[in-house]
């Protein structure tokens, strides 16, 4: 079983919809949680960064971490065609040289 599980999709939604992307993990030592967005044939770019539990909001994006359930989410409000990409969750814990463990990514398609 992988340390981080993520539904690969693809997930197709109409423009303007609210999107929910999720990851579950098994290692309770993870403390830092990230979401990366990756456009086709590009490198991943950092979208959201959260330490420990709680919510973080940045524009149309909200990241949630529930450490008790070992579950993290990324919500995208008012989705746009430009949000079409693969979204990767990643996590790490203290003392690991910032080594990241990634989910496999969820491919999102926002249609007009």
Residue 102 burial (CB count, 10 A): 17
Verify binding: residue 42, another protein, rule CB under 8 A: yes
CA pair distance 9, 15, nearest whole angstrom: 17
We find the least distance from the C-beta atom of residue 16 to another protein, in angstroms, to be 29
Residue 65 found at the interface with another protein (CB under 8 A): no
| b/e per residue 48-72 (b: at least 16 CB within 10 A) | bebeeeeeeeeeebbbbbeeeebeb
- The size of the interface with another protein (CB under 8 A), counted in residues, is 23
Q: How many CA atoms lie within 13 A of 11 on its CB side?
A: 22
Q: Which one of 19, 30, 44, 76 is in contact with another protein (CB under 8 A)?
A: 44
Give the shortest CB-82-to-another protein separation in angstroms.
18
Judged by CB, which is closer to another protein: 1, or 98? 98
Phi, psi of 81 (to 5 degrees): -55, -30
* Residues 86-105 contacting another protein, CB under 8 A: 88, 90, 92, 97-100, 102-105
Round the CA-based radius of gyration of the chain to a whole number and report it: 13
Give contact residues for another protein (rule: CB under 8 A): 6, 8, 32, 34, 36, 41-46, 49, 88, 90, 92, 97-100, 102-105
């Amino acid at each position: 079983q992988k340390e981080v599980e993520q539904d690969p999709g693809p997930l197709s939604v109409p423009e303007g919809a609210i999107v929910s992307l999720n990851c579950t993990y098994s290692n309770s030592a993870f403390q830092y949680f990230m979401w990366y967005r990756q456009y086709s044939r590009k490198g991943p770019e950092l979208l959201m960064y959260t330490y420990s539990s709680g919510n973080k909001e940045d524009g149309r994006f909200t990241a949630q971490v529930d450490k008790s359930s070992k579950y993290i989410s990324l919500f995208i409000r008012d989705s746009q065609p430009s949000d079409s990409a693969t979204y990767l969750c990643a996590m790490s814990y203290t003392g690991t040289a910032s080594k990241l463990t990634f989910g496999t990514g969820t491919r999102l398609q926002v249609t007009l």
